[in-house]
Structure 1
Amino acid sequence: MNFPKRRNIQEELRQKLIIVGSKNPVKIASTDAAFHQAFTGAFLVEGLNVGSGVSDQPFGDEETLKGAMNRAKNSKAVFPEADFWVGIEGGVERVSGEMQAFAWVVVLDKEDKIGKSKTSTFFLPKAILDLVDTGMELGEADDIVFERSNSKQGNGAVGILTNGAIDRKEYYQQAVVLALIPFIKEDLF
């Protein structure tokens, strides 16, 4: 005789802890919003300063994805008691003489299931491209070109260049939700 699987009510009711591999308030807020958008239940989302193991300004898909993966894995190593770990890493890449910006998102759970997603891409103006080519991080280049301070912890290049039509939180949030697909549709992954 098959009995239905016993539900752990305490486990279902307890708040889930999500650790983001960054103290950047935009990355934390986008992760919080994405988990609440994708799932019902209570979540506590906290940021943790961990290394990405890549350049301060990653170039290309491979290095940027590696940075996001390292942030998620390093967060799990430092705080293994959590339920999920999230790494978000922004990168740039040259395409036909121009430079595009994007970010990779990696989500890990306790069973080492991995969800990955990439944001949409957009092209940077030449003034920013020239500064990034000198080795400057995109956020610092944004601050110089747009005469701002600490824009990477605010709306970032995507918000500045779209006049706020797309803010950085929403930009990351969509990618975090997409990275959650293996956890939303567990039976398929």
Structure 2
Amino acid sequence: MGFPKRKNIQDEVRQKLVIVGSKNPVKISCTDAGFHQAFAGAFLVEGLNVDSGVSAQPKGDEETLQGAINRAKNSKAVFPEADFWVGIEGGVDSINGEMHAFAWIVVVDSFDNLGKSKTSTFILPPAVAELVESGLELGEADDKVFDRENSKQGNGAVGILTSGALDRKEYYQQAVVLALIPFINTDMYKIAIND
């Protein structure tokens, strides 16, 4: 059964199960909001602890994207009964002496079709960047510099640095919707769907 596009709302659609490759409440919430923003229909979104297969703090596009792919595919391997599996992996990269933060989002369906998107990026303060370079995860570095606790399951660096103008859920949600583009436009991306 395919998804109706937001503009073609059907009266009744079977609830689809979406598994997120993380128990982080922000990642589950942004996935839920992103699927509901992109599609009409009912979704049940659940988190599952799976291994990313990359460093605790991925560096660069390649490693971060691989972590998101691994999370989606490992979720599918553990819970193959779902309709979609989502991997979200936050990463950092150093460019011209500045550390940028971002995340990759990957969506896999039952036919192994892949949708992916990268969030926008932002520059981390030097104090945070130095701690990440020394081996801490970004969330741990944020907690130390900003005297927070478990910020990666809250607003994250983006929420802290924008004084709440943009929280981590909103930051990821847009990229979740963008990763769903191939599933919204199945004809253009030549994606088979369950009818």
Aligned: 1:76 with 2:73: no
Rounded to whole Å, the distance in 1 between the matches of 2:59 and 2:44 is 32
- Which residue of structure 1 aligns with residue 54 of structure 2? 54
Q: Deviations over 1:95-142 (max 9, x none)?
A: 001100000000000011100000000000000011001010000000
Secondary structure in structure 2 of the residue aligned to 1:13: coil
Match of 1:42 in 2: 42
Q: How does 1:1-189 map to 2 (within 5 A)?
A: 13-189=13-189
Deviation of the 1:13 alpha carbon: 2.7
1:4-31 C-alpha deviation (Å, 9 max, x unpaired): xxxxxxxx63210000000000000000
* Partner SS for 2:90: strand
Q: Secondary structure at the match of 1:171?
A: helix
> Max radius of gyration: which structure?
1
Task: Give the residue type in structure 1 aligned to 2:69.
Answer: M
* Residue segments in structure 1 that go unaligned for 5+ positions in a row: 1-11
Aligned residue for 2:105, secondary structure, equals: strand
Residue 6 of structure 2: aligned partner = none
- For the aligned residue pairs, the C-alpha RMSD in angstroms reads 0.6
Counterparts of 1:169 and 1:131 in 2: how far apart (Å)? 24
AA at the equivalent of 1:38: A
User: How many residues are matched?
Assistant: 178
How many Å separate the matches in 1 of 2:129 and 2:171? Answer: 21
Deviations 1:21-63 (A, max 9, x none): 0000000000000000000010000000000000000000000
The match for 2:8 is: none
For 1:156 and 1:167, locate their aligned partners in 2 and report how far apart those are by CA, in whole Å.
7
Q: TM-score, normalised by structure 2?
A: 0.91
Q: TM-score with structure 1 length normalisation?
A: 0.93
Rounded Cα–Cα distance in structure 1 between residues aligned with 2:150 and 2:52: 19
